[in-house]
């Protein structure tokens, strides 16, 4: 009986996450409704799992299987929307991702036996695709706010791993039915739902601009420093143009700033902007922008008596955890300690611009 309430509890928690995030940051969710739909789909699927495995209600299977075939493509589309620097996805781009759903519906009507294998293959394929996209690093999520791009990238990785784990669970359930008639399937499905909750928590953190305290101890991989990553003259020109935007226009103070916005201001592809910063400053775009934000915060801490929280927002940070983490990265101290020291500590370590390739 311990399995009966678990899927329903997971669903309740997911609905709570959804409503709290909508209430706290409704604009963020409306701006990216795909993540809202993703959480809602997982919540509904959890209810169906509870009915199927908790009460052996097989009547939900015609709904449960097609919904499962939608979840992995929806996860892909959600993160794909953060990685696009062109207009939002149109139906023509979404339609191919509806094929697993259409195939499962057709199989349910004509030949139900392969349905489980198709769903497992769908989860495995999209999970691998998400992890492949994650290799581009945080700068690959050009539409994600720079203040939370590291969190978004982590959620992308977690989602990819969880989809692969879900595919593995489906395979184990099929084997369990073949070997023992499904004796252990209920327990395996229940554990899978707990993993789903973790994935959805990550997805919620991506769509919402709310603070995630776990981010405070996160670190971002350093860009490649090999000879192949030395800047070209074009990189230096782009980097100078970006520096002008930051210094003269104070673009970094935009809390919702992302790589796509910077690239649009310059009329350049986002990848060119990212490469220019990576190669000339040996840091990611988010680190570069946050360094400018920290410099402003340092000046305000030295010259004003404004509360630290007000200074945080004035400098362009949207979350306390990210502010503290980036301030520590740049100054090797905390904002409060910096103010107590009267600003005597070095505000920012010098960043040496790398020389162009001959």
For 15-75, the DSSP string reads HHHHHHHHHHHHHHHHH-HHHHHHHHHHHHHHHHHIIIIIH--GGGHHHHHHHHHHHHHHH
3-state class (DSSP) for residue 282: coil
Q: What is the C-alpha separation between 250 and 295, in angstroms, rounded?
A: 12
pLDDT digits (tens, 9 = 90+) for 222-234: 554 444 467 889 9
Q: Which string of DSSP letters, residue by residue, matches 132-162?
A: HHHTT-GGG-TTSBTTTHHHHHHHHHHHHHH
Alpha helices in 81-229 (DSSP H): 91-94, 99-110, 115-134, 149-180, 185-207
3-state class (DSSP) for residue 258: strand
Within its chain, how far is the Cα of 246 from the centroid? 25
Taking every pair of Cα atoms in the chain, the longest distance, rounded to a whole number of angstroms, is 75
Question: Residue 112's beta-bridge partner residues?
Answer: none
Give which of 139, 350, 356, 141 is closest to 229, Cα–Cα.
Answer: 356
Question: Residue 145's beta-bridge partner residues?
Answer: 258
Mean pLDDT in residue range 83-110: 86
Give pTM, 2 decimals: 0.80
Q: Residue 112 pLDDT more than 80?
A: yes
- How many CB atoms neighbour CB 201 within 10 A? 16
Positive or negative CA dihedral for 73, 145, 83, 221?
negative
In the prediction, which pLDDT does 259 show?
93
The CATH topology of domain 227-340 is: Arc Repressor Mutant, subunit A (1.10.10)
The CATH topology of domain 5-210 is: Rhopdopsin 7-helix transmembrane proteins (1.20.1070)
Q: Residue 2 pLDDT more than 50?
A: no
Mean pLDDT in residue range 112-116: 90
Give which of 142, 14, 129 is closest to 76, Cα–Cα.
Answer: 129
pLDDT band of residue 358 (cuts 50, 70, 90) is very low
pLDDT digits (tens, 9 = 90+) for 166-183: 888 877 777 766 677 666
pLDDT digits (tens, 9 = 90+) for 195-217: 665 565 555 555 444 333 334 34
Mean pLDDT in residue range 270-279: 92
Sketch the domain layout of the chain as residue ranges: 5-210, 227-340
3-state class (DSSP) for residue 342: coil
In the prediction, which pLDDT does 134 show?
92
């Amino acid at each position: 009986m311990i399995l009966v309430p678990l899927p329903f509890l997971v669903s309740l928690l997911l609905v709570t996450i959804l409503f709290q995030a909508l209430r706290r940051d409704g604009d963020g969710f409306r701006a990216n409704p795909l993540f809202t739909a993703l959480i809602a789909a997982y919540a509904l699927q959890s209810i169906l799992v509870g009915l199927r495995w908790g009460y052996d209600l097989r009547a939900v299977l015609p709904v449960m299987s097609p919904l499962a075939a939608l979840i992995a493509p929806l996860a892909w589309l959600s993160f794909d929307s953060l990685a696009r620097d062109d207009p939002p996805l149109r139906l023509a781009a979404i339609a191919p991702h509806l094929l697993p759903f259409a195939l499962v519906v057709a199989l349910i009507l004509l030949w139900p036996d392969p349905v489980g294998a198709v769903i497992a293959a769908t989860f495995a394929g999209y999970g691998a695709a998400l992890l492949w996209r994650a290799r581009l690093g945080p700068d690959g999520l050009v539409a994600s706010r720079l203040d939370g791009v590291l969190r978004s990238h982590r959620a992308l990785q977690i989602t990819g791993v969880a989809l692969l784990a879900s595919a593995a669970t489906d395979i184990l359930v099929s084997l369990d039915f073949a070997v023992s008639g499904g004796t252990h399937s209920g327990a395996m499905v229940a554990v899978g739902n707990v993993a789903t909750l973790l994935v959805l928590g990550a997805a919620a953190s991506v769509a919402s601009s709310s603070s995630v305290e776990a981010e405070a101890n996160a670190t971002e991989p350093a860009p490649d420093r090999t000879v192949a990553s030395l800047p070209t003259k074009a990189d230096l020109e782009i980097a100078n143009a970006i520096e002008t935007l930051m210094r003269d226009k104070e673009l970094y103070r935009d809390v919702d700033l992302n790589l796509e916005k910077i690239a649009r201001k310059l009329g350049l592809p986002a990848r060119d902007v990212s490469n220019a910063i990576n190669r000339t400053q040996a840091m990611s775009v988010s680190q570069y922008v946050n360094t400018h934000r920290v410099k402003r915060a340092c000046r305000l801490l030295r010259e004003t008596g404004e509360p630290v929280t007000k200074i945080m927002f004035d400098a362009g940070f949207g979350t306390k955890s990210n502010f503290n983490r980036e301030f520590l990265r740049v100054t090797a101290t905390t904002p409060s300690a910096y103010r107590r020291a009267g600003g005597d500590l070095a505000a920012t370590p010098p960043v040496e611009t790398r020389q162009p390739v001959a």
